[in-house]
Structure 1
Amino acid sequence: MSMKAVVFHGAFDVKVEERPKPTIKDDTDALVKVELAGLCGSELHMYRGHQKTKTGHIMGHEFVGVVDSVGPKVTKYKPGDRVVSVFATVCQTCWFCQRGLGNRCANSLAFGTQQLDGGQAEYVRVPFAEGTLQHVPPNLDERLLVMMCDIFPTGYYGAMRAIEFIGKPLLPQAIQNGSTLEKRAATFEPQALKDTVFVVLGCGPVGICAVITAITKGVGTVYVVDAVDERLAEAEAVGGIPLKLGRDDIPDIVMKATDGRGADAVVEVVGNKPALKSAIDLVRVCGIISSIGFHQSELPFTAFEAYQKNVTLNFGRAPISTLFPEALECLRKNKDKVAAFISHEIPLAQAPHGYDIFEKYQARKVVFKV
């Protein structure tokens, strides 16, 4: 039996083709009939040719669908269950998974790569189904659930890494009072964030999710930086203060807002060297850079610069399976704000057009109906 799938053939070249329907290979697999598949900004790295890879695999790491069949060791899901997948498989048994670090699962396979065919297809095989899939929650638009595969939990993670760091500072008075790190962590209060200044670099969907999270959790001031007017308007609509590249004197504005210190935290979402250079320039001494952009080059600053600022750096992808419940709750609280994220819902057969308009910033979020 064959199915339709979006296949990568090289830079700016994806095609909808007939491919064999996948089958259960391992005892922990599930086969999912896809209903909705998202197009994520991180896929543009491959689409534009910036991420070097072989060709011929099925694209897509965001999908929602119905379980078609399961392997004999899968008991959490059964045929007919509605499910949403995280962007990469989670085995649940390795050292990292056992500690909630499924983002670095030792057996992980990334959907939509040479490792594992993705979900921009009529069917997709899901290894380690019990760790990789989540049940579709009730009373939530399933189109919004596409964002729970990657972009919303990733934005949530980027903001929360910064919030947790800023909200639990190593205060001199705490040391004088004889409190331990554990006690300081236990006494973290969200209202402590009301006087903090965050900068989010990049106002694509992930950046907007980070802005929404920061504001929901109580961050007092959130500047948002981008070069695209429409994105800045979207960020402003959810509570961010827009700063446009090439128009605004961003360092001057941030420094004036912080009495010359710099931002308490910078959440970097873009994934390129100029953005990281801006992050190190804008963050204050003893601040944090939370980078969730997909970087593939060397750092644009030296270890000495980082040392001189006593800056904390956090890089990498989110442990979405671990964060899923709390990120979902944040999404629920802001479902009206994120409802407009999906600007284009088009048939899978028109996937090449979807990629084209998304790459040209003519679409905010593209979802393929399968």
Structure 2
Amino acid sequence: MAIQTMNAVVFRGPFNISVERKAKPQIKQQTDAIVRVKSAGICGSELHMYRGHQKTGTGHIMGHEFVGTVEQVGGKVIDFQPGDSVVAIFSPVCMKCWYCVRGLTNRCVEGTAFGTQQLDGGQAEFVRVPFADGTLQRVPPELDDRLLIMMCDIFPTGYYGASRAIEGLCNQLESPLTSKSKLLFDQTIVVLGCGPVGICAIATILSKGVRRIYAVDSVEDRLKEAEQLGATSLKLGQDDIEETIMAVTDGRGADAVVEVVGNQDALRSAFNLLRPCGILSSVGFHQSELPFTGLDCYLKNITVNFGRVPVRTVFNDALECLKQNEAKLKTYVSHELDLKDASEGFAMFAQHKARKVILRV
């Protein structure tokens, strides 16, 4: 007898996560696939909803990070078939709109993130994946299964935030006496926030050849993880962060800041830490007014980048970077729980008692 219902993690309001029986998803469009989920991650961006900072309706299935096996495909799916092991991008991409064909898959006109009122997510036994040929990627067999979940969102996001900062600096660095690689080596980059995305950004920056990296957070465990990767840690509320950065840069300020926290205080700190003509690369999920003005930016001549990652476009490059850092990150997943324990997983993550939580289905 065919399966009609499934267990799923449902958002019922701030700090209220429940596991319920829901109808198993069905093919709606011929470009859809149904994926049997093997594991799903809890992402930091979901905490905005969980804590009530992001206003939304209730009753939808959570989760935009998931790995599994294709169970069924629509008639127009070309690249996948039942039995394929896959990892999903956090937001479907059609690969046909004006943005997708130019590599700007983060702004796909059909893109709606999984785990929202518009599209049920993957913290469930099964999930419907729109535009399967664009949204799914085959599982690289050589990658540690526990790290694979990072490729749905957090590693590409950290990679993107770091890469935009470094690309901006490379465009500035010109000297008849010193190579661009030597100048990049000497740059000072600050990463604000050492949660999962921040750790991924630090790993990327190190892989690109930068060696003077400062990692800022208030959680001791996160700072220790950043130090193990090779960053110098600075603890909020304990260290004088601005004084430290100014001291090591002869009073100029950081060459670039990667901000992943997503609140006004972090963004203002990023602005204050930057030198004139510095690069501010923000991938934090901001939902409020900016803490600086256009005039502030004009007078400091900074370059500012905001927004979500085009995961599909950077996927292969980010995957190679993750493979380079696999040994360093192999213990990063701190908790693996059963799907039925999702409420406990969200609470631990929100209270900074876990680095990364995976729900096994």
Please indicate the TM-score interval, normalised by the length of the shorter structure: over 0.9
Structure 2 CA distance for aligned equivalents of residues 153 and 161 of structure 1: 12
Task: Provide the residue aligned with 1:119 in structure 2.
Answer: 122
Write out aligned runs for 1:1-370 (5 A): 1-169=4-172, 171=174, 189-370=180-361
Structure 2 CA distance for aligned equivalents of residues 332 and 321 of structure 1: 17
Structure 1 stretches of 5 or more lacking a match?
Answer: 175-187
Structure 2 CA distance for aligned equivalents of residues 50 and 21 of structure 1: 30
Q: Contact 1:111/1:117 (CA < 8 Å) preserved in 2?
A: yes
Q: CA deviation at 1:63?
A: 0.2
Q: CA deviation at 1:140?
A: 1.2
Taking structure 1 as the reference length, the TM-score comes to 0.95
Q: Contact 1:200/1:223 (CA < 8 Å) preserved in 2?
A: yes
Structure 1 CA distance for aligned equivalents of residues 315 and 54 of structure 2: 27
Q: CA deviation at 1:259?
A: 0.8
User: What amino acid is aligned across from residue 10 of structure 1 in structure 2?
Assistant: G
Structure 2 CA distance for aligned equivalents of residues 326 and 39 of structure 1: 23
Structure 2 CA distance for aligned equivalents of residues 369 and 189 of structure 1: 45
Structure 2 CA distance for aligned equivalents of residues 139 and 126 of structure 1: 24
Cα deviation 1:314-368 (Å, max 9, x = unaligned): 0001001110000000000110111111100010011111111111111110000
Q: Contact 2:173/2:180 (CA < 8 Å) preserved in 1?
A: no
Cα deviation 1:41-84 (Å, max 9, x = unaligned): 00000000000000000000000000001011101000000000
Structure 2 CA distance for aligned equivalents of residues 334 and 172 of structure 1: 31
Structure 2 CA distance for aligned equivalents of residues 168 and 273 of structure 1: 28
User: What amino acid is aligned across from residue 344 of structure 1 in structure 2?
Assistant: H
Q: CA deviation at 1:189?
A: 4.7
Q: CA deviation at 1:192?
A: 3.2
Determine helix, strand or coil for the equivalent of 1:267.
Answer: strand
Q: CA deviation at 1:190?
A: 3.9
Q: CA deviation at 1:141?
A: 1.5
Backbone CA RMSD of aligned residues: 1.4
Q: CA deviation at 1:297?
A: 0.2
Cα deviation 1:13-66 (Å, max 9, x = unaligned): 010000000011001101000000000000000000000000000000000000
Task: Provide the residue aligned with 1:184 in structure 2.
Answer: none
Q: Contact 1:57/1:117 (CA < 8 Å) preserved in 2?
A: yes
Structure 1 CA distance for aligned equivalents of residues 80 and 262 of structure 2: 36
User: What amino acid is aligned across from residue 271 of structure 1 in structure 2?
Assistant: G
Number of positions where the alignment pairs a residue of Structure 1 with one of Structure 2? 358
Q: Contact 1:268/1:289 (CA < 8 Å) preserved in 2?
A: yes
Determine helix, strand or coil for the equivalent of 2:258.
Answer: strand
Q: Contact 2:173/2:183 (CA < 8 Å) preserved in 1?
A: no
Structure 1 CA distance for aligned equivalents of residues 81 and 113 of structure 2: 23
User: What amino acid is aligned across from residue 250 of structure 1 in structure 2?
Assistant: I
Q: CA deviation at 1:129?
A: 0.5
Cα distance change on mapping 1:170 and 1:335 into 2, 3 Å? closer
User: What amino acid is aligned across from residue 99 of structure 1 in structure 2?
Assistant: R
